Amino acid sequence: MASVDQFFGGQLAPIRARFQSADSAALLLIALCWMSAVILVNPLGEFPSVDDWSYVSTVRALVERGEIELSDWIATNFISQAFWGALFAMPFGVSYTTLRISTIVAALLAAIALYRIIRNVDWPIPVALLAALSLLFNPIFFTLSFSFMSDVPFVAAQTGAMLFLLGGLRSGSRASSALGWVLALLAQLCRQTGLVIPLAYGGAYIVKQGWGLRRLAMAVLPLLVFLGVQWTYQYWLTATGRTPLMFGLSMRSILPKLAGSPVTVAENLFEVARYAFFYLGLFLLPISLPIIASIINSLSHKRAVTSTLVLAGTTVALAVISLRAGLIMPIWPHTWRSWGIAADSYGVTAPPIFLEFVTVISVCGGVFLLTCIGHAAYHLLRERPRAVGAWEFVFGLLGAAALLGILSLIDQKFDRYLLPAIPWIALSAMFAVPEKRNFAPPLWALVASGVLVAGMAWYSIVNEHNYMAEKRVWAAAINELVAQGIPRETIDATWIFNGEVSYGRFGTKTGASPDWYRSRDYVVGIWPEPNYTLLHRYPVPRWPIWGSTGSAVLVYGPKAEPR
């Protein structure tokens, strides 16, 4: 390892010293949990998820013809993800299964990176382990891991960039910083929101190094470089005639929104803040709970009782207000909906009491998360602005604020756009406890967090297994119609399945009315079609949940004319 140590400027030795057997066991546990979940879900199957058919077609052109052909449906930069998918497709062939596996691997890498980030700021292994597993089994992150959508690969590249950029700032290692910037560049070339990485880095750099003209220039330079990279990429797309019709669709609304009414901007900020309170509160509760418990344990008995009563009272009051106002999770239904996960899932409706319970848990998580961030900000920025950890806190907080700010300024808002904020917020929350080495989260808090993660894992695995089973049957029903000689363009199997074969041939390409078929002679779905004849009912081998197995996949044909 001497040559490797030399290449990394001697930085690997202390890293290996910290990477004890307990950490190795924790990482092995993360990998085993993830592999077990993958096996239970069963990722095999040739069918699209959401609109990843547009991404798959790009990888196919890259692997089979060596050409970069971006589908007009693609709105993200995507280019780095195309090459990531090609790494898996070249040896095994281009297929939905192969590219799905590439995302499954990226998800695991994201969890490992988050684990190392938490460990590197001196939190014990159980907290880092809970953070990694809560990311993996987050229902939205989980279902997107079984697709070729760009969300999970972006989170993986972004979180890896965070890990190595933090390491470079912390130790001064140029190799760590260089690797961090490479990963940040890959994140940028996956989704335009990668620009938040150099923005957050610049703020952290100033807080760590102090003010000065040269230091300010060093802080701003990465953001300018990344803006240049984005401009160059877009210029290349335009110059070569490769710009997708939908490219940058969401980002186009940012400048008009900023130039518009301040009241409208404030309303959008409040809306996104509300979403973040519920969703990030729920998804990060497994780590905010041990942090809050650690803080309360450090207080005197009187202050601990008072703090507990305030937190409990605030949670109860906000939960009652939310339930009475009809804010029942998921309050922002897109990827995660009341009847399952995945934007095109049609599973089984959950009992109302379950969703109300989730809402209360989300409010509790939101209160805890805000308390963690507020406590960290007070300690690091007001009491001791140059305290150890202040620049890391700023790094995380700026990254999250930038992502949420961008989200508030775009027209098309989807719940999955919150996923990249999770590692940034998780990092910021870690500094709610000033001297982490002297704090041991109480066992009851760790156990409760473990139960929460297990509950998320159960919900995600069962729903995703059922989703994949449903889509396999859906695809088989379509294939059987085609095998009977029925033209594919005369079958409406929802825009997800229609898009992979008929996008650009029928209907509008802008998404205003994505009815991508020539004629609707046959219909494959789960809803009654009164103007058609039911030809076949295909049962779906779902795992029972909520006491029901859900709907069958139905195939309809032309209605017979009366004689």
pLDDT tens digits, residue range 456-515? 999 999 999 999 999 999 999 999 999 999 999 999 999 999 999 999 899 888 877 778
Strand-pairing partners, residue 523, are: 492, 556
Over range 29-47, report the average pLDDT.
Answer: 97
What does the pLDDT look like over 124-159, one tens digit per residue?
999 999 999 999 999 999 999 999 999 999 999 999
* DSSP string across 531-551: TEEEEEEE---PPPBTTB--P
Q: How many residues does the chain have?
A: 563
Same domain, 351 and 481: no
Predicted confidence band of residue 7 (pLDDT cuts 50, 70, 90)? very low
Q: In this structure, is residue 88 part of a structural domain?
A: yes
The whole-number pLDDT of residue 175 equals: 95
Q: Which amino acid is at 433?
A: V
Same domain, 317 and 452: yes
Same domain, 403 and 510: no
Over range 309-326, report the average pLDDT.
Answer: 96
Over range 541-546, report the average pLDDT.
Answer: 84
User: Bigger pLDDT: 259 or 191?
Assistant: 191
Same domain, 442 and 473: no
pLDDT at 15 over 60: no
CA 67, CA 51: separation in Å to the nearest integer? Answer: 21
pLDDT at 262 over 90: no
Q: In this structure, is residue 290 part of a structural domain?
A: yes
Same domain, 485 and 382: no
CA 420, CA 241: separation in Å to the nearest integer? Answer: 30
Strand-pairing partners, residue 534, are: 556
What does the pLDDT look like over 351-393, one tens digit per residue?
778 999 999 999 999 999 999 999 998 887 666 655 668 899 9
Among 410, 430, 465, the domain boundary falls at: 465
Q: In this structure, is residue 5 part of a structural domain?
A: no
What does the pLDDT look like over 64-86, one tens digit per residue?
999 999 999 999 999 999 999 99
Same domain, 231 and 342: yes
The whole-number pLDDT of residue 9 equals: 46
Instruction: Using the structure block, give the residue that is written with the tokens 């309303």.
Output: 267
The whole-number pLDDT of residue 252 equals: 79
Q: Chain centroid to CA 134: how far?
A: 12
pLDDT at 12 over 60: no
Domain count, the chain: 2
The whole-number pLDDT of residue 426 equals: 97
The whole-number pLDDT of residue 2 equals: 41
Same domain, 123 and 198: yes
Q: In this structure, is residue 480 part of a structural domain?
A: yes
Same domain, 478 and 449: no
Q: In this structure, is residue 10 part of a structural domain?
A: no
Same domain, 438 and 470: no
The whole-number pLDDT of residue 308 equals: 95
Among 465, 493, 528, the domain boundary falls at: 465
The whole-number pLDDT of residue 507 equals: 86
Instruction: Using the structure block, give the residue that is written with the tokens 């290996």.
Output: 16
Domain of 548, in residue numbers: 466-558
Predicted confidence band of residue 174 (pLDDT cuts 50, 70, 90)? very high
pLDDT at 549 over 90: no
Backbone φ and ψ for 246, nearest 5 degrees, come out as -95, 5
Mean per-residue pLDDT of the chain: 91
Instruction: Tally helices (H) and strands (E) across the chain.
Output: 21, 6
Over range 389-417, report the average pLDDT.
Answer: 93
Three-state helix/strand/coil letters over 147-195: CCCCHHHHHHHHHHHHHHHHHHHHHCCHHHHHHHHHHHHHHHCCCHHHH
Same domain, 354 and 442: yes
CA distances in angstroms from 54 to 57, 58, 84, 89, 283, listed in the order given = 5, 7, 15, 16, 29
Q: In this structure, is residue 13 part of a structural domain?
A: no
Q: In this structure, is residue 1 part of a structural domain?
A: no
The whole-number pLDDT of residue 136 equals: 98
Residue 103: which of 50, 65, 61 has the closest Cα? 50
CA 268, CA 192: separation in Å to the nearest integer? Answer: 20
Q: In this structure, is residue 382 part of a structural domain?
A: yes
What does the pLDDT look like over 215-249, one tens digit per residue?
999 999 999 999 999 999 999 999 999 999 999 88
Same domain, 27 and 63: yes
Among 465, 498, 515, the domain boundary falls at: 465
Same domain, 445 and 487: no
